[in-house]
Chain A
Amino acid sequence: MTIKRLGVFPIIALLIVLALPLTALAADRVRIGTAGKGAWEAAVPWLGQQTGIFAKHDIDVEVFYTDGSTKALEGVIGGSIDVAIGVNVANFIGAVVKGAPVVMICGIFTGLSDTLWYVRADNPIRSVKDLTENSTVGYGTAGSYNQIAGLALLDQAGAKSKMVAAGSSSAVLTLVMSGQIDVGFNGNGLMGVPEFQKNEVRIIARGDDIEAFRGLTVRGFVTSKSLLAEHRDVLLRFVQAYQETIDWMYKDQRAVEMYAKEFNLPPDEIARLMPVFYPKSAFGIQPVNGIDRSVEQGLQFKRISKQPTDEQLAAAFDIIWTPEQK
């Protein structure tokens, strides 16, 4: 009997049999959206994959770099992204108030130690006290934590300067260096930025200077309610793998070397500055602290349109895991 007479069915059956073990071995894929490509914080998924930590937890991560965490949150709402990383808590509550079917499953960063505001070295502005009504302060995208942080910084200093949406950190740097805006922000402690190394820019404020953000969980992971209901176990493994990767990044010197090599940054500078801007105490899977303060900030800076109800807030946060639960 020839293959032709047998038909294609045996071949298909053979292929199915061969594919079965592969299916059984396939890891659960999690599509994540994160802003700040090249930042230490955004390097976690990449490092976790490189070191096989995610694979160990049977997770396969697909990373989408977005222009601001709000875009990642929009991706979750639209269904193209499973988990939005580093979403500003106040902005997230603003989406919940509008009826977005999303839930925050953990916090990831406390305070604003990673954020800096700077001017070009020849700019007369030396601190936030020198900002005038004519000064322009850049931020990423509407609703990003750096916008709210910038507004809080101006509010604390009593400055009435104009906030300008300027896009990514590198776009902001271009605008500052070309004199189109006065003050730029950087959410990675200016690590590896040549202009910072050559003293062409001057830091005028740090995120830690803003009292309103001290001890506050500013960013977290957001997923859709339906995904959490259907795949809670997958998300749990994802979050645990994420934390294990962070632990490894602070324990093993190879993390700095790999990160510096991948993003073409000076490893010595990263090793020196990383603990300052990303202290281990601030960075990691954590409960979401200070939700009331985030609501206040969101209302004050018009990221939240109206006071959320207790029911809305209760449904908005479902912390699936923290390292204390080990």
Chain B
Amino acid sequence: MRMLQSLDLAGAVSTRVSAASRPPKWRARPWVPRVVGLGTLVCLLVVLEGLCAAGRVNPFLVPAPSTIIASFPMLLVEHHLPQRFASTIAKVCAAALLAVLLGGFLGWAFYRSRNMRLAFRSWVVGLNASPSILLYPLFLIIFGRGAGTIVALGVISALPPIVLKTSEGLLATRRVLLDVGRSFNLTAFQQFRLVQFPAALPIIFTGVRIGLIYAVITVVGVEYLLAYGGLGELVPDLADRFEIPAMYAAIIFVILVSAGFQFVVQKVERWLQSV
């Protein structure tokens, strides 16, 4: 009897323990991370606003978030934000398209030719590790002070991860999948389109995503250096005019553009995988 009681007790304890160890239901909700992230941001902004209002930080160097938000209309009207956005995004898209085409081809060539891969892979890795933006004086002479230089540098910076990940993805295709393709007597092109490319797509898109991040950074960075068109030119121009809240607003806008670009790329990746 005592044993039974102790067993019951043990069962009750174990039930309590398992109930206690199980995470509460709200933690499993998909909106929780978003709320936590957004809440943290809002809290930080409120703290900053309070520090500015209390005069604890220099409002000239670190303006209040409300002032930054209030300067967006000025960016739209006086500094032609939509036109600048279109200019930058056009250059990013051009650089991305060229980098994907060229990088995809080179990645495929690396996959096809072992000698080429062994000969040039280290070059691409080296290029990936180097700050290619420093080449801008050279490109300035070749392409002139204009969109050509900016796009070319965008391509150069985006290329290495796309090349490396494309070849890596194609090389990583499982042999069993290739064998299945062969058993169906697929042509080389069909084998590539129906087996290798879909299998390599997740790895290829990792390279594309990294490459596009580099392209956005480089395009905005070279616009900044050349003071030529787009969002990159806007930030130093506002800084030099001491429009500090508007400068922060422009920086926030650039970050949002970059995040939006990544979001679009993710959507494209999912769409391609579903097709």
A residues lining the B interface (CB < 8 Å): 68, 70, 74, 77-78, 94-95, 98-101, 141-143, 164-167, 174-175, 178, 180-181, 303, 305
B236 lies within 8 A of A101 (CB): no
B59 located at the interface, meaning its Cβ lies under 8 Å from any Cβ of chain A in the complex: yes
For chain B residues 128-152, which have a beta carbon within 8 Å of chain A? 137, 140-141, 144-146
A174 lies within 8 A of B140 (CB): yes
Partner of A101, one of B60, B141, B146, B241: B60
B240 lies within 8 A of A141 (CB): yes
A74 to B137, CA, bound (A): 25
Partner of B242, one of A68, A94, A174, A175: A94
A165 to B141, CA, bound (A): 16
B199 located at the interface, meaning its Cβ lies under 8 Å from any Cβ of chain A in the complex: no
Interfacial chain B residues near A74, Cβ < 8 Å: 239-240
The distance from the CB of B264 to the nearest CB of chain A, in whole angstroms, is 31
A181 to B146, CA, bound (A): 11
Residue among B60, B141, B237, B244 facing the most chain A CB atoms (10 A cut-off): B60
Partner of A178, one of B141, B237, B240, B243: B141
A78 to B237, CA, bound (A): 17
Give chain B's interface secondary structure class.
loop
Interfacial chain A residues near B61, Cβ < 8 Å: 77-78
Interface size on B, residues (CB 8 A): 20
Interfacial chain B residues near A303, Cβ < 8 Å: 241
A39 to B249, CA, bound (A): 36
A178 lies within 8 A of B60 (CB): no
B58 located at the interface, meaning its Cβ lies under 8 Å from any Cβ of chain A in the complex: yes
Interfacial chain B residues near A100, Cβ < 8 Å: 60, 242
Interfacial chain B residues near A141, Cβ < 8 Å: 227, 236, 240
Interfacial chain B residues near A181, Cβ < 8 Å: 145
- If A74-B239, A142-B227 are given as contacts, then 13 extra A-B residue pairs at C-beta distance below 8 Å, sorted by A number, are A74-B240, A78-B61, A94-B241, A95-B242, A98-B242, A98-B244, A99-B59, A99-B60, A141-B227, A143-B241, A175-B145, A178-B141, A178-B144
User: What are 27 A-B contacts with C-beta separation under 8 Å?
Assistant: A68-B240, A77-B61, A78-B61, A94-B241, A94-B242, A98-B60, A98-B242, A98-B243, A100-B60, A100-B242, A101-B60, A141-B227, A141-B236, A142-B227, A142-B237, A142-B240, A164-B145, A165-B227, A165-B233, A166-B145, A174-B140, A174-B141, A175-B145, A178-B141, A180-B145, A181-B145, A305-B241
Partner of B241, one of A142, A164, A167, A174: A142
Closest-by-CB residue of A relative to B141 is A178
A174 to B244, CA, bound (A): 32
For chain B residues 218-249, which have a beta carbon within 8 Å of chain A? 227, 233, 236-237, 239-244
A305 to B74, CA, bound (A): 13
A178 to B227, CA, bound (A): 18
Instruction: With A175-B145, A180-B145 as known contacts, state yes or no: A143 contacts B240, CB within 8 Å.
Output: yes
A68 to B240, CA, bound (A): 10
Closest-by-CB residue of A relative to B240 is A142
Interfacial chain B residues near A142, Cβ < 8 Å: 227, 236-237, 240-241
Interfacial chain B residues near A68, Cβ < 8 Å: 240
Interfacial chain B residues near A94, Cβ < 8 Å: 241-242
The distance from the CB of A141 to the nearest CB of chain B, in whole angstroms, is 6
Interfacial chain B residues near A166, Cβ < 8 Å: 145, 227
The distance from the CB of A220 to the nearest CB of chain B, in whole angstroms, is 17
A94 to B58, CA, bound (A): 18
Closest-by-CB residue of A relative to B145 is A180
Interfacial chain A residues near B241, Cβ < 8 Å: 94, 142-143, 303, 305
The distance from the CB of B197 to the nearest CB of chain A, in whole angstroms, is 42
A21 to B193, CA, bound (A): 79
Interfacial chain B residues near A70, Cβ < 8 Å: 240
Interfacial chain A residues near B145, Cβ < 8 Å: 164, 166, 175, 180-181
Interfacial chain A residues near B239, Cβ < 8 Å: 74
The distance from the CB of B212 to the nearest CB of chain A, in whole angstroms, is 28
Interfacial chain A residues near B144, Cβ < 8 Å: 178, 180
* A-B complex: 4 closest residue pairs judged by Cβ atoms: A165-B227, A142-B240, A98-B242, A143-B240
A70 to B140, CA, bound (A): 24
B237 lies within 8 A of A77 (CB): no
Interfacial chain B residues near A95, Cβ < 8 Å: 242
